[in-house]
Every structure is written in C-alpha cells, then in structure tokens.
A and B are shown apart, each in its own frame.
Chain A
C-alpha cells in the first residue's frame, strides 16, 4: 500500500461523532433488536444486568465490524453517492484512526461478552465480526455476485449470540433464527441494489444486478423468498413457538411474497420506476422486526 499524505482534516483529532458514524448506527439497530429477541426468546432466566451487557456487546461488536468494513472500503465508499459522505471517504478522519478504533472495539466487545455471559457467546461474537470483516468485506464483496448470499451469514449471528448468552448452548430454534436472517438478506439487499445499481457499477462492486442484470435479480429475489418463508414458518411448524408467532409469520410472509411477485413482474430499468423494489426493501425491514417481535411476544405473553 502506498502512503498518501494526510489532508488537513485527517491530521486533526477525529470528531467523536465521526467515530460514532463509523459504527453504522442504523444497521446496528436491526442487529441489536434481533440479538435482544434471541436473548429474550431463550428459555431460562437471565440477570437484567448480564442481559443488558450481552446486548451491549452485540452492538459494540456490530459497530466494530462496521468500522473495520469502512476502513477497508474507503475507496469504494468514495465512489458511491450513498456512502461518499462517510467520515473516511469525506476525509474527516485518518484510516489509521478507523483501524485502531475498529480493532479496539472488537476486542473489547468479545472480552466483555466473555466476562458477562459465557465462552460460547463470546466465541460466536468473535466469529461473526471476523466473518463480516474477512469473509464478506475482504474476500467476497469485490469478487463475486454471491457476496450478499454468503456474507448474509454475518448479520444472522446476533440472535444466536443472544440465545447462547442465556443458555450457553445452541439448539434448533436459534439455528432457525439464523437461517431466517441468512435467507432474508439476499432479497433485502438485492431489492436495494436494483435501484442503486448504477452506484455499485460505478464503484466496480459485482452486485447481482450489475453482473446478471435486473430481470435475473428479480427472479432470484422471488426464488430466495420461498426458502426464506419456509424458514420463517418452520419454528411454528416444528412446535418450537406458539400460535402468535405462527399467525404473524404466515401473514408477514404472505405480504413479502406478494411484494416479491410485484418486483418479479416489474420490467422497469430506471430507478425512478422501481416502486415495487423500494416497497419490498422497506417492507423487508418491517418483516424482520415483525417476525422477531412476534417471537418474543409468543414467548412472554402467551
């Protein structure tokens, strides 16, 4: 790597708000929520302080992974309109600061998880951070259109970690929760990448719409929706949850399927005519929140 002289802003001490932005707080909210739901859905009691610490560690670990992702992808982020204003591409922070912050936060989150919960939860947290940074960011993202498919596993770990923090083991239900997020990630991200594909193409990221075209991506969205729905209703079908989760997952999945069909039927190639894609992307977030909220309601209120 060649050394580039630091700009004036990069030489200044980084603003703490930029360090916070490095953790991708919006992405973190979904991670924290699914982690919390995994923790609350687990059988057995958990001390509130230890439960809070476990969720905090999941948030810090996700923040660390986000910071390291931005450290590695600063060149890509600079080429995309959506990410060009982030602290590194905008030149408000040196790369070294981002690297130190990310590594420090990652180590801290894993050690704290080990102290507050158990070795298994800490190990899965460490694996999830390494998976996101090394497997997704470094290895897959710039090389293959399957980046989101395999990389989606990184975002699927939080409920597993939350569960493991309470029970110290991993059973069928947390594995199904992992599968739900893993299979949900491709339709969710591909819906987004359809209407921002010019950004990805300009940055040279081989996202599916860039490599295989918009119609092929729409077909893949529909195809991935089917196993995702199977995974979503499986906890109820296997008797691992009650009727609240069963009905909620069926209704939410039916809406997801209808929206996926609308995307499949859309022939537009211009982002401004991609209403169905934008709707599916927005609903996919509601879908995941809804499923996990129903899981907790089912466990605690029924």
Chain B
C-alpha cells in the first residue's frame, strides 16, 4: 500500500475516533442529566 494512502487511512481513523470520543462523552453527560431529571420528576 502506498505510504500516502496509509497516511490518509490513519488520518481518517484518528478523526473518526476523536469524533466518537466526543459523542460518547456527550452521551454520558446526557444520560446522567436524564437520570437526574427523571429522579426529580419521580420524587
């Protein structure tokens, strides 16, 4: 595989991993907020 293509693959993987990490972080925050909101409603 040409080096250029290998670098492109790595770059795409890095960008996607970064984006996935951000989305997962936001999802955790959202689930926490939903839990707190639901606990508040059901109290």
Residues of A whose CB lies within 8 Å of any CB of B are: 8, 12-16, 47, 49-50, 53, 56, 115-116
Contact = CB atoms under 8 A, between A and B. Distances in A.
B40 interface: yes
A15 B37 contact: no
A13 B34 contact: no
Contact of B34 (A12, A14, A15, A50): A50
A116 B12 contact: no
6 contacts: A12-B12, A16-B16, A49-B30, A49-B34, A50-B37, A116-B34
* Chain B, interface SS category: helix
B1 to A, nearest CB: 11
Given A13-B12, A49-B34, A53-B34, 9 more contacts: A8-B5, A12-B5, A12-B8, A12-B12, A13-B16, A16-B15, A16-B19, A50-B37, A115-B34
Interface of B: 5, 8-9, 12-13, 15-16, 19, 30, 33-34, 36-38, 40-41
Given A47-B37, A47-B40, A49-B37, A12 B9 contact: yes
A116 B30 CA distance: 10
Nearest to B13: A13
A13 B19 contact: no
A13 B9 contact: yes
A14 B9 CA distance: 9
A49 B40 CA distance: 11
B34 to A, nearest CB: 5
A47 B41 contact: yes
B25 to A, nearest CB: 15
Contacts of A47: 37, 40-41
A100 to B, nearest CB: 13
Contacts of A50: 34, 37-38, 41
A15 B15 CA distance: 8
> What 10 A-B pairs are tightest by C-beta distance, nearest first?
A49-B37, A13-B12, A47-B37, A49-B33, A16-B19, A116-B34, A16-B16, A50-B37, A13-B13, A12-B9
